[in-house]
Amino acid sequence: MIKRLMIANRGEIAVRIARTCKELGIETVAVYSTADRDALHVKLADQAVCIGPAKSALSYLSVGALITTAVRTGCDAVHPGVGFLSENADFAREVKKAGLVWIGPDPDVIDLLGDKVVARDTAVKYGLPITPGSPGPISTKEAAIEVAKKCGYPVIIKAASGGGGKGMRIVWKDEDLEENLKIASREAEANFADGTVFIEKYLQNPRHVELQVIADGKGGVAIMGERDCSVQRNHQKLIEESPSPGVTPEMRARMASGAKNLFGSLKYCGAGTIEFLVAGSDFFFMEVNARIQVEHPVSEFVTGTDLIREQILVCSGEPMSIDPDSVGLRGWSIEARINALSPGKVTRLEVPGGPGVRFDSFLYAGATVSPHYDSMVGKLIVWDSDRPKALARLLRALDELVVEGVKVNVASQRKIIAHEAFRSGDFGTGLYARLEKELQL
């Protein structure tokens, strides 16, 4: 087992990783920008090193600074977290070249799956259905128009690297393609250091469903249930739940079979997520996130498993602590992302408690919410025996959560969760747009 691990990330996920490492007896080294000097992950780590200024390109995306820090502090492993360089195969190679353990899949596998253009081809190879789209990257207006004519409008321009809704644009007519290609590419370059984009047919109001996977690098694959991530604003997930209210046992089995075939055949190692768009009884491969996901806690609740622990174990060469063939799902879990609507200093924080309630966050009274990074400041996750009970528990927990000093989206999350359209379970990715005006979100 590894002894010291550098967390190449910040915010809530860095806090999450540090806590599991503490339980495993692994020392942690935090990295931080000048804007994060007093951040919670810095306080929780055994050692912390400043790696640059607030701008991500000069700190959290600086491969040289990260590798140098890991080596100089005597680390034997690097955990990339989510976002930033977590799906960057070149960074993974540099980590391994430095003689360090990479907490993630092999770089060559990241190339296959982290790049969404290549991932589509890989999915087809292993028998997974995909939506119509471009056969490769798109860089010119002429090529984009040709693909759009074949697919039919609307189409969606997507970043080949990364995720989280960055580098994505929906286009409804030829005249808007060129400008949106440029915007999507600029966003992708700024967020993932890769401006490559491609085009897919845009399905209107499908469900967004993903399967959580843990794989041991030897062909063993555990499917940790599915998550429904259909409540989104501008492609940014807001609410996630497991299981999905729109997935039948038969569909779940078909998805799991395809996922096991894909991840097992590639000898995938670590945590990963395979994402699908669901329309009626049909589902289409969308992408693979070759890393842990923000919304992993709902899968942890319904399976009773620490996914960060399993990720560290298998990437360190240890066996899973679970039997891949006997993962059971129990109850229902729902997560509401808590996003900051303004930067500033937190002057008061009251966290909800009680059975089946969890708040993952980097906030504390006195913490600073920086304008330089993602707006998500926490995740409120609940579990109960069924969906109605879990919904009631989440509403109660949202009522108890108090954040002062910065504006957060608690009120809008409560409005969505309390609305009959959400409570019915019969909705797709168009739900937020439908409710935005009605509820004044």
Q: CB neighbours of 250 closer than 8 A, spacing ≥ 6?
A: none
Q: Determine whether 207 is an active site residue.
A: no
Active-site choice (16, 120, 227, 291): 291
User: What is the pairing mode between strands 101-102 and 77-79?
Assistant: parallel
Q: Which residues are catalytic?
A: 291
